[in-house]
Amino acid sequence: MKNMRVKTPTKIISAFVAGAIIAGGVATAATTAPSSVITACADKRTGALFLSSTGTCSTNRTLVEIGGANMNAKAIAALVTPTVVSISVNSSAGSGTGSGSIYRSTATTSYIITNNHVIETAVSTGTIKVEFTNGDQVTATIVGRDPMYDLAVLAIKTGNLPTIAVGDSSKVSVGDPVLAIGSPLGLASTVTSGIVSALNRPVTTGDVGSESYVNAIQTDAAINPGNSGGALVDAQGRIIGVNSAIATLSSGGTSGSIGLGFSIPMNEAKRVIDEIISTGKSTRPVLGVFFDTAYTGIGARILRLSAGEGAERAGIPAGSVIRSIDGLKIPDEVAAIVKIRSYAPGATITLVVDLPNGGGSKSFKVTLGTAPSL
């Protein structure tokens, strides 16, 4: 298991398991993007779910509503699990398992989203296998990856697969019910339930010098090693986050779920995923500053500026301390980096900074630049 770090009293690690054996499962449903409340028909004999566009079902099926005020976990699980796969990686650097979601499917090819840390050992050599809920396995190739956002896209030569419905993570609120779906410890099609515990949680994962920064959705739905890359879905069965990391106690005595799981918000992930599918590469937004990592005060102190980038063009002087970005308070440089990376390149943001040498507080409009993520 890969160690992670974050500026909290707990330790953040990837929800990834090394050397586990994938266990198969069975599910038989398809899905398309639902609205706030959708209707489905459950087969009375098999329990399989089929979306109903008319709100009616044949005599051998029972009408089921998904969404609305309450979460129908049983119905959502049956609807979504066929779109979530297990991923196994074998390479000279080791083996491991994770999870992924079927994001797009054509007649001949399907694209699966997962975490970069799930597949990064197989970038140069090794094999990646995808296992469906019926136990079938196929070989996958890497379309592209983004270590800075801890995202990757795989392709398989199997078409016309059910795809996961995509939700709007900007509409998520603390307290919303959610399901986490994936393959913890290689146990395929595992579903756990909980709520959204917090939003905009700055989480830093990875080794020093190659960190991923996540403006995370925090959930108490159980996420364990092997859940990495799996889906966090809302009450309508739509993916709102890519499960990525879990917190463990600093003492190191606990390596499983303690009710602190973190997911990459889907709106942030979708931009990166779509870029990778279109071009094989992705981009990141650039503020154009270097932060003072030795600064211990509240906020993010700018050590120096990048020539010609957004911060310099906006007139922000070196030595300024960022106190908020678009109204969100910034306690340190990690929070600043995480918040900046939640935007798309070219976005215009508002920074409130304390000017150097007691110059008071000032607001700046900054247009973010762009840079390749790899």
**Closest CA relative to residue 164, chosen from 62, 54, 46, 77:** 77
Side-chain-facing half-sphere of 121: CA atoms under 13 Å: 22
Question: Quick one: pLDDT at residue 1?
Answer: 36
**Closest CA relative to residue 29, chosen from 156, 177, 191:** 191
Tokens representing residue 338 in the block: 């995480």
* Positive or negative: CA dihedral 341, 346, 348, 354: positive
Residue 194's pLDDT band, with cuts at 50, 70 and 90, is: very high
Cα separation of 322 and 329, whole Å? 9
Residue written as token pair 């197989």: 122
Residue 171 DSSP code: G
Say which residues have a Cβ less than 8 Å from residue 296's Cβ, sequence separation at least 6: none
- Tell me the pTM: 0.83
Cα separation of 23 and 25, whole Å? 7
* Catalytic residue check, 207: no
Cα separation of 197 and 189, whole Å? 23
Question: Quick one: pLDDT at residue 93?
Answer: 82
Residue 25's pLDDT band, with cuts at 50, 70 and 90, is: very low
Structure-model confidence comparison of residues 203 and 308, the more confident one: 308
* Catalytic residue check, 228: yes
The catalytically annotated residue of 150, 220, 332, 354 is 150
Question: Quick one: pLDDT at residue 256?
Answer: 74
Q: With contact defined as beta carbons under 8 Å apart, do 339 and 113 qualify?
A: no
pLDDT, tens only, 270-289: 999 999 999 999 999 999 99
Per cent of the chain over pLDDT 70 is 83
pLDDT, tens only, 83-103: 999 999 999 888 889 999 999
Question: Quick one: pLDDT at residue 16?
Answer: 56
The catalytically annotated residue of 86, 88, 189, 228 is 228
- Res 207 pLDDT > 70: no
Say which residues have a Cβ less than 8 Å from residue 12's Cβ, sequence separation at least 6: 4, 5, 6, 203, 204, 205, 245, 246, 247, 248, 262
- Res 55 pLDDT > 70: yes
Cα separation of 154 and 139, whole Å? 10
Q: Is 81 helix (H, G, I), strand (E, B) or coil?
A: helix
Per cent of the chain over pLDDT 90 is 67
Say which residues have a Cβ less than 8 Å from residue 124's Cβ, sequence separation at least 6: 91
pLDDT, tens only, 113-164: 999 999 999 999 999 999 999 999 999 999 999 999 999 999 999 999 999 9
* Catalytic residue check, 189: no
Question: Quick one: pLDDT at residue 31?
Answer: 30
The catalytically annotated residue of 88, 101, 117, 244 is 117
Domains and CATH numbers, the chain: 11-15+166-279 (2.40.10.10), 283-372 (2.30.42.10)
Cα separation of 129 and 127, whole Å? 7
Beta bridge partners of 158: none
Q: Is 273 helix (H, G, I), strand (E, B) or coil?
A: helix
Cα separation of 104 and 17, whole Å? 26
Question: Quick one: pLDDT at residue 113?
Answer: 98
Q: Is 144 helix (H, G, I), strand (E, B) or coil?
A: strand
Cα separation of 336 and 215, whole Å? 10
Structure-model confidence comparison of residues 255 and 138, the more confident one: 138
- Res 350 pLDDT > 80: yes
Q: 11-14 and 84-91 as β-strands: parallel, antiparallel, unpaired?
A: unpaired
Cα separation of 267 and 56, whole Å? 33
